[in-house]
């Protein structure tokens, strides 16, 4: 599995002027994600136990790790669109 991205870089330039230039350290998102897991894990466990009989318990338990897997898979994504007077780029490194 790929390591999760460390940085997200977002840049929007319109009519030659920089509208947004953002370097977001993904470490902050990991921390928020970890905090959410700690807070929500008892609720998710309870909900999965209730839903187990309906066949949804296992799927509910898998949602958190799956989102983390998607987050890791973003590593290397790069989208760049340039026109004469505007630019948009987003990349995960």
Partner 1 sequence: MNEERRKILEMLAQGKISVDEAEKLLAAISQPEEESETGKKYDKKDFPKYLRVVVEPGPASRKGEKVNIRVPFSLLRAGIKLASVVPHDVQGKVNEHLKEKGINLDLSNITPDNLEELLKHLNELEVDVDSKEEKVRIFCE
Can you name the residues that pair with 87 across neighbouring β-strands? 13, 82
The answer to whether 11 contacts partner 1 (rule: CB under 8 A) is no
The structure tokens 């840049």 sit at 11
- Binding test (CB under 8 A) with partner 1, winner from 7, 23, 52, 69: 69
Structure token pair of residue 10:
């977002």
- Shortest Å, Cβ 59 to partner 1: 5
Using CB under 8 A, which of the segments 15-23, 25-33, 36-44, 66-74 binds partner 1?
A: 66-74
Task: Annotate 16-42 with three-state secondary structure.
Answer: CEEEEEEEEEHHHHHHHHHHHHHHHHH
Can you name the residues that pair with 92 across neighbouring β-strands? 8
- Shortest Å, Cβ 81 to partner 1: 5
Q: In the complex, which residues of this chain contact partner 1 (CB under 8 A)?
A: 1-2, 56, 59, 62-63, 66-67, 69-70, 72-84
């Amino acid at each position: 599995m790929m390591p999760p991205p460390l940085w997200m870089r977002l840049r929007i330039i319109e009519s030659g002027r920089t509208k947004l230039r953002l370097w977001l350290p993904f470490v902050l998102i990991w921390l928020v994600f970890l905090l959410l897991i700690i807070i929500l894990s008892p609720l998710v466990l309870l909900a999965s136990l209730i839903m187990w009989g309906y066949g949804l318990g296992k799927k509910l338990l898998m949602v958190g790790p799956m989102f983390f897997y998607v987050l890791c898979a973003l590593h290397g994504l790069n989208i760049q669109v340039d026109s004469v007077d505007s630019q948009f780029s987003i990349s995960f490194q």
